[in-house]
């Protein structure tokens, strides 16, 4: 066979077969019925340099981050704030920059030991209502403004970005101990170029809801920043939101953090029922009688939960109560009383 030479007619017949039904037969798998390999389009302008495992790790980390940041932001603003992770995508740096509004709050973040810088972008349509809330404004929507932030507004916004970076550091703790800080803040993102336009970046987008106001916060991580730690993102060390049994160290740490917390303490002196007509007719000096015995201990509640028994009195000329005992678990108290009655 190796010594034979095809004639011109045989070559033309082979070409005609390949140009006609032969191609259809090969695409359908031929007589054997086997399907050909699946072909997926690949865009060389947007190469996927970050693996799927790393992308899943980043998504899981920042889902937990969103919940924690939403709770911390709600405590700061004293209102309900919802933070939801919307997407984790790969794109080029130029596509990311040209997708942003102008002006915006464009924060360049240093994150050693990661190389280069990260970018935190927050929509001004979301920041102005937050600034209004920090300055004591009400729940009324603020008019949309199209101007860069002033120096005073930047100082107020820094409280939000510092909170974002603190929660981000906590989310990355099991992967890397980041030292996050804002280098500078720009209003026009198109004037800032930290990497070449075609460099691949990972864009992590969050939707923040504050009452009737919604806005986006975008975290941009360049590929060269996470290239060296890609192996750490594929391991299970980034899973930090599972339930763990408390340790003496964690209990002590939480106790130290709760030491300075302010709680509401309420003492119930007595309870009674009164008619509405009597309530309307009350005047200064009237006495309301109750069925509580003066020798019966008072109940001291902490944040709405009964915790102590106490006695009323005076301390240094001021009304006061003296704690006499700790209220035990209700089920245990009922069981004890039942045992005493049975005896």
Q: Could you count the other beta carbons within 10 Å of the beta carbon of residue 61?
A: 24
Cα 160 from Cα 72, distance rounded (Å): 10
With 0-12 CB in 10 A as exposed, 13-18 as middle and 19+ as buried, what is 56? Answer: middle
What percent of the chain has a predicted confidence (pLDDT) above 70? 79
User: What pLDDT score does 39 carry?
Assistant: 66
> Cβ(134)–Cβ(159) under 8 Å?
yes
Residues 161, 197, 46, 98: is their CA dihedral positive or negative?
A: positive
- DSSP designation for 51: -
Regarding whether 167 and 124 lie in a shared domain, the answer is yes
The CA–CA distances, whole Å, from 256 to 132, 167, 284, 305 equal: 33, 19, 46, 22
User: What pLDDT score does 49 carry?
Assistant: 66
Regarding whether 311 and 178 lie in a shared domain, the answer is no
Q: Which two tokens stand for residue 10?
A: 């045989």
Q: Is 324 a domain residue? A: yes
Q: Which domain holds residue 137?
A: 52-240
Q: Is 256 a domain residue? A: no
CATH number at residue 63: 3.40.1550.10
Cα 256 from Cα 301, distance rounded (Å): 22
Residue linked to tokens 């120096």: 151
Q: Is 2 a domain residue? A: no
The whole-number average pLDDT for the span 87-116 is: 87
Regarding whether 83 and 110 lie in a shared domain, the answer is yes
How many domains does the structure of the chain reveal? 3
CATH number at residue 296: 2.30.330.10
The whole-number average pLDDT for the span 260-275 is: 83
Regarding whether 79 and 18 lie in a shared domain, the answer is no
Cα 82 from Cα 98, distance rounded (Å): 27
The CA–CA distances, whole Å, from 35 to 25, 84, 273 equal: 11, 42, 83
User: What pLDDT score does 270 carry?
Assistant: 80
Conformational region of residue 213, where left means phi above 0, alpha means psi within -120 to 50, and beta covers everything else: beta
How confident is the model over 2-56, as pLDDT tens digits? Answer: 456 667 777 777 777 665 554 444 444 444 444 556 665 655 555 556 778 778 8
The whole-number average pLDDT for the span 186-199 is: 85
Cα 95 from Cα 109, distance rounded (Å): 20
Regarding whether 153 and 79 lie in a shared domain, the answer is yes
Which helix or strand (DSSP H or E) is residue 302 part of? strand 298-302
Cα 120 from Cα 221, distance rounded (Å): 9
Q: Is 248 a domain residue? A: no
Which range, of 197-201, 208-212, 292-296, averages the lowest pLDDT? 292-296
Regarding whether 194 and 76 lie in a shared domain, the answer is yes
Q: Is 284 a domain residue? A: no
Regarding whether 34 and 57 lie in a shared domain, the answer is no
Regarding whether 235 and 163 lie in a shared domain, the answer is yes
The whole-number average pLDDT for the span 98-112 is: 88
Regarding whether 163 and 31 lie in a shared domain, the answer is no
Q: Is 249 a domain residue? A: no
- DSSP designation for 37: P
Regarding whether 270 and 230 lie in a shared domain, the answer is no
Cα 113 from Cα 110, distance rounded (Å): 9
Regarding whether 185 and 105 lie in a shared domain, the answer is yes
């Amino acid at each position: 066979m190796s010594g034979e030479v095809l004639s011109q007619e045989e070559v033309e017949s082979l070409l005609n077969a390949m140009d006609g039904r032969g191609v259809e037969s090969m695409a359908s798998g031929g007589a054997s019925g086997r399907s050909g390999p699946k072909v997926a389009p690949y865009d060389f302008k947007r190469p996927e340099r970050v693996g799927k495992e790393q992308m899943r790790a980043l998504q899981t980390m920042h889902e937990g981050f969103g919940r924690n940041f939403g709770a911390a932001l709600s405590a700061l603003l004293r209102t309900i704030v919802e933070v939801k992770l919307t997407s984790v995508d790969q794109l080029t740096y130029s596509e990311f920059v040209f997708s942003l509004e102008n002006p915006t709050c464009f924060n360049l973040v240093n994150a050693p030991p990661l190389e280069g810088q990260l970018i935190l972008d927050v929509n001004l349509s979301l920041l102005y209502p937050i600034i209004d809330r920090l300055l004591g404004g009400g729940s009324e929507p603020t008019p949309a403004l199209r101007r860069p932030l002033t120096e005073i507004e930047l100082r107020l916004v820094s409280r939000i970005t510092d909170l974002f970076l603190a929660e981000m550091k906590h989310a990355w703790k099991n992967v890397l101990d980041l030292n996050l800080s804002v280098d500078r803040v720009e209003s026009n993102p198109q004037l800032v170029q930290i990497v070449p336009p075609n460099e691949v970046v990972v864009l992590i987008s969050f939707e923040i809801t504050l009452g009737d106001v919604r806005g986006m916060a975008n975290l941009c991580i360049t590929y060269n920043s996470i290239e060296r730690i890609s192996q750490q993102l594929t391991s299970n060390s980034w899973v930090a939101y599972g339930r763990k049994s408390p340790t003496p160290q964690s209990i002590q740490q939480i106790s130290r953090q709760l030491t300075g917390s302010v709680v509401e303490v309420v003492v119930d002196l007595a309870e009674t029922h009164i008619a509405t007509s009597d309530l309307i007719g009350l005047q200064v000096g009237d006495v309301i009688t109750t069925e509580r015995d003066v020798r019966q201990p008072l109940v001291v509640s902490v944040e709405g939960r009964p915790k102590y028994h106490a006695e009323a009195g005076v301390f240094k000329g001021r009304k006061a109560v003296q704690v006499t005992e700790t209220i035990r678990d209700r089920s245990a108290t009922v069981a004890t009383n039942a045992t005493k009655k049975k005896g």
